[in-house]
Structure 1
Amino acid sequence: MSTGTPITVVVADDHPIFLDGVLGALSQRDDLVVVGNAQDGGEALRLVRELQPQVALLDLRLPVMTGVEVLHAIRRDDLPTRVVILSGELGSAAVYEAVQAGVDGYLTKESDRRAIGEALVAVSRGGTVLAPEAQAALTQEVRGRVQDDAPVLSPREREVLRMIADGLSGPEIAAELQIGTATVKTHTQNVYDKLGVSERAAAVAAAMRRKMLE
């Protein structure tokens, strides 16, 4: 039993029953205190910004903003909160994207209550925790990627990527390039596939790390 100050946590999951279960499990520990909970990523980010908990426990596929999008915002704003993804999704690309974005922990929803609590404690102390299933998925993804970490984009794909980085919407890109919105979607998906990501923020982050926007 801990006698120190409890670790502050924000929890976000869009499934009320699962959320209640996690909240109930964490309430049984005296070394953790949930200071806020949410059912979408936008509200989760608001709570993190307002409360600045030590750890945020986020579902991956939250509405409004995904868990990874919330993670990107936390890192961008240089907030002190560390992030653990708790998800039923263990696709290798999803795990890789979260790790690439700087996640501090990735757990499966099959994790038992004790494991979740211990992971939050470990992460709050600076550790990194990956469930065995997440480790296996990450290894698979890394092995499947080519040695060259800078994928080759066509000139048009580079134009679309740069406009995405500038914050333009799909219709705005279509108007700027004088092409159809369906064509923009095709180019955008090609960019995502080549960068190994699934959404705009991750594409921009990956391109910046690879110095593709300079």
Structure 2
Amino acid sequence: MATGAKVSVVVADDHPIFLEGVLGALSRRDDLDVLAQAGDGGEALRLVRELRPAVAMLDLRLPVMTGLDVLHAIRRDDLPTRVLILSGEQASAAVYEAVQAGVDGYLTKEADRRTIGDAIVTVARGGTVLAPEAQAALTMEVRGRVQDDAPVLSPREREVLRMIADGLSGPAIAAQLQIGTATVKTHTQNVYDKLGVSERAAAVAVAMRRKLLE
């Protein structure tokens, strides 16, 4: 990025009032150029592909595609856009998953507007930004995973995990195992809790890394 050039950014958040406030703050900065806004992850990814901003600032819990899904797509497609997560999510597993996926910055929504703007510029210049809360959460998660890197799954939980990895839906798993969908949900949540994740893709990724599907 040339010295003095404005940093182009696409912003995505599904909370209109919060989004309006952030956009207003960013628009008052001479070093930022907000190209577009999105209310869901699918639209955010479309805008990133079309506009190629320097930075995409994403909420983690976006509808259609989560911020993490968008991040994975940007990395997979080798797009030049760097990613800054701005989220109310402070769970250690969420921060860990974002960092593991290659996020360039992670701020919580408690950050003030100047901090957010400065973080966008830092990320655009190749730097990395982690809010103090995110750093603490990441440290906690790493320590926990080092201490317990081999979660003990029951035989049934392993069956459910394998079927999740195969792409089966909850009802399909229930039908194949001849159990209720509520029971499948319970097993699935137990798997998520033991792996320290909150969604299917992350569960499969962690399971593959820890060789739980072999």
TM-score tier by shorter-chain length is: 0.7 to 0.9
Which runs of 5 or more residues in structure 2 are unaligned? none
1:23 partner amino acid: L
How far does the alpha carbon of each residue in 1:13-42 deviate from its partner, in whole angstroms, 9 at most, with x for none?
112121112112222233322222111222
Whether 2:211 is the aligned partner of 1:208: answer: no
Whether 2:130 is the aligned partner of 1:142: answer: no
TM-score by length of 2: 0.87
How far does the alpha carbon of each residue in 1:100-135 deviate from its partner, in whole angstroms, 9 at most, with x for none?
332221112222222112211221222211011221
1:137 partner amino acid: A
- Look up the match of 1:160: 160
- Look up the match of 1:37: 37
**Aligned pair in 2 of structure 1 residues 13, 143: CA closer, same or farther (>3 Å)?**
same
TM-score by length of 1: 0.87
CA RMSD of aligned residues (A): 2.2
- The number of residues matched between the two structures is 213
Whether 2:97 is the aligned partner of 1:109: answer: no
- Look up the match of 1:48: 48
Give % identity.
85
Q: Structure 1 residue 4: deviation in Å?
A: 4.0
Which runs of 5 or more residues in structure 1 are unaligned? none
Comparing 181-190 with 82-91, greater Cα deviation is found at 82-91
Report the Cα distance in structure 2 between the residues aligned to 1:48 and 1:206, rounded to whole angstroms: 27
**Aligned pair in 2 of structure 1 residues 190, 77: CA closer, same or farther (>3 Å)?**
farther
**Aligned pair in 2 of structure 1 residues 49, 163: CA closer, same or farther (>3 Å)?**
farther
